[in-house]
């Protein structure tokens, strides 16, 4: 084989090697980019992308927070009422006196 033929062979082998490496690495790189960017393939079970699932989860959590805040507010009102009732009972007992009963 001549020097020119051998050189051409190594160029062809190098080009094929580069093409193979690019062909293998490119899909992996694209998949990683989609995953990092939040634009992954839709979930087969739900048909939603990662970003859409995150948005739905956030909306559900915000709804739950609203429910818990309403429940906390209701409990605060009940506690205030109970404290008022207890303080009324104590003030009535003071007005009557400890030995003034029967």
- Cβ-based neighbours of 54, under 8 Å, separated by 6 or more: 38
* Residue 97 confidence (pLDDT): 66
- Measured CA to CA, the distance from residue 89 to residue 102 in angstroms comes to 18
DSSP state of 98: S
Q: Which of 41, 63, 38 is nearest to 51 (CA)?
A: 38
Two tokens, residue 22: 């690019």
- Measured CA to CA, the distance from residue 27 to residue 36 in angstroms comes to 14
- The mean per-residue pLDDT over the stretch 61-82 comes to 95
pTM to 2 decimals? 0.43
| Highest mean pLDDT out of 4-8, 29-33, 80-84, 92-96 | 80-84
Residue 79 pLDDT > 90, yes or no? yes
């Amino acid at each position: 084989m001549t020097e020119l033929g051998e050189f051409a062979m190594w160029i062809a082998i190098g080009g094929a090697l580069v093409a193979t490496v690019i062909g293998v690495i490119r899909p992996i790189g694209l998949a990683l980019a989609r995953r990092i960017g939040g634009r992954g393939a839709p979930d087969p079970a739900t048909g939603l992308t990662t970003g859409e699932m995150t948005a739905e989860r956030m909306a559900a959590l915000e709804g739950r927070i609203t429910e818990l805040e309403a429940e906390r507010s209701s409990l605060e009102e009940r506690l205030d009422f109970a404290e008022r009732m207890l303080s009324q009972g104590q003030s009535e007992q003071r007005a009557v006196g400890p030995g003034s009963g029967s």
